[in-house]
Amino acid sequence: MLQLGLHSVIVGFALFSMLFGAGNVIFPPYVGLTAGPEWVIGFLCYYMADVGLALVAVFAMLRTQSIDKVEGIMSRLGYIPAKLMIAVMVICIGPLLAMPRTCATTFSLAIVPLIGTDSVYVSVLFAGLFFALTFLFSYKESTLVDLVGRYLTPLLVFGLLMMIVLGFISPIGPISDSPKIENIAWMSISAGYQTLDVLAMVIFGILIVNALKAKGYSTPKLKFISVGAASLVAGLLLFVVYGGLCYLGATASTLYPDNIDKGQLVLGISSRVFGWEGSVILSLIIALACLTTAIALAGAAGTFFSTLTNGKWSYKFVIIVVCAFSAVVSNFGLNNIIALAAPILTVLYPGVLAVIFLSLFDNKIKNDNVFRSAALGAMAVSFCEVMGWYWPEAFAFVKYLPFQQPGFGWIVPAAVFALLGSFIRPSNNNNV
């Protein structure tokens, strides 16, 4: 049991750094800044909508014993739809959006403030270096999680905790008497929900279970215990770090306006906590946060597509392709790529959440059409929401759906479609 606990801690550290990207450094302080004296409420709402949902996804996957399948928790949708949804998620969250963004964010927030230039030549050179490191850490599938968990994550956690502890010992300023915005809870819930960490957890699930299976935890019981323990370790680390960063933001609530750039807010807090060395330390924290996320995304893409193609695309071939593609995208047309990926993820996300929540009752729901109909209803509403970005008058009805304001307008349609799906006779053909 001691060995199981140690392995779970290492994998939990790795999972923490996989989920903790640059956005996770930047947004919690802003929650604290805008919430002021209500920063605890803001933090708890943000945490539950982000990490809480991600942990629900893990335990739903464990409950259905789908965490180590290539189609994952989407398996109840059918053979082809499940693989298609996971493939689109891996591509969008990986080389099409998040991987290039980790590099671009590191360059703009960590490198440019240090060197004082954002030259295209320097940017290209940095992208090459960033993704060369990503490849080196991810090219060996069997050791990826150990490398991240044993070496990179402790450095990241140490830097974050050092900033948080110093900020607690010597606050940079008094907390304001009142919040800067209304509806702190809804704003924080919406922000946590929009992080898309649930999608990342669905993709990272196969990485962490493979890492633990390689250590001998292959039976359903051992997988449940080891993966569950690793997820709780990651959740506890995120609780401490998010809470600390929200508090630091609250102590800056009398020093900065609510319209401050989020990156500049973190830089200002870091400089006040650490002194003149603050920009260097913050650069290291952001670089480690982004690099570990990029490594995990590259590894997840390699594992998924090599498994999907039965080895025709080798793991190493896939990560070479995604790293090279991401290096190019991070320098050219990133905004256009984000504009392409964001609508796709907006449509997919509610469908994935609908399946996750239904999977908590997997053994009670015998009809796969309940899952298929719920996902269809959720994604249909999200599709209308995306269409409303371009034709607001034609799709104005979406904003009148219950819970639409914080982004949960899909819930009622998904429930109605799930009910309708229960009346559709299940098919014996699971390949469609």
pLDDT tens digit string along 3-14?
Answer: 767 778 888 888
CATH number at residue 191: 1.20.1740.10
Same domain, 35 and 152: yes
Contact 237, 127 (CB under 8 A): no
Looking at residue 216, its pLDDT comes to 76
Q: How far is CA 393 from each of CA 139, 339, 399, 400, 406, rounded to the nearest angstrom?
A: 49, 21, 11, 13, 20
Same domain, 125 and 153: yes
Q: What are the backbone dihedrals phi and psi of residue 245, each rounded to the nearest 5 degrees, phi first?
A: -65, -35
Same domain, 289 and 386: no
Domain assignment present for residue 337? The answer is: no
Looking at residue 1, its pLDDT comes to 60
pLDDT tens digit string along 305-334?
Answer: 998 898 899 999 999 999 999 999 888 755
Q: What are the backbone dihedrals phi and psi of residue 194, each rounded to the nearest 5 degrees, phi first?
A: -80, -5
242: tokens are 């998010």
CA distance 49 to 107: 29
- Domain count of the fold of the chain: 2
Q: Is 142 a residue whose pLDDT tops 70?
A: no
CA distance 132 to 126: 10
Residue 387 domain boundaries: 345-432
Q: Is 335 a residue whose pLDDT tops 70?
A: no
Same domain, 249 and 390: no
Domain assignment present for residue 188? The answer is: yes
Q: What is the mean pLDDT of the chain?
A: 86
Question: Of the ranges 142-151, 309-318, 362-371, which one carries the lowest mean pLDDT score?
Answer: 142-151
Domain assignment present for residue 339? The answer is: no
Rounded percentage of the chain residues whose pLDDT exceeds 90: 36
Q: Is 105 a residue whose pLDDT tops 80?
A: yes
Domain assignment present for residue 8? The answer is: yes
Same domain, 361 and 298: no
Q: Is 240 a residue whose pLDDT tops 90?
A: yes
Same domain, 204 and 147: yes
CA distance 374 to 369: 8
Domain assignment present for residue 340? The answer is: no
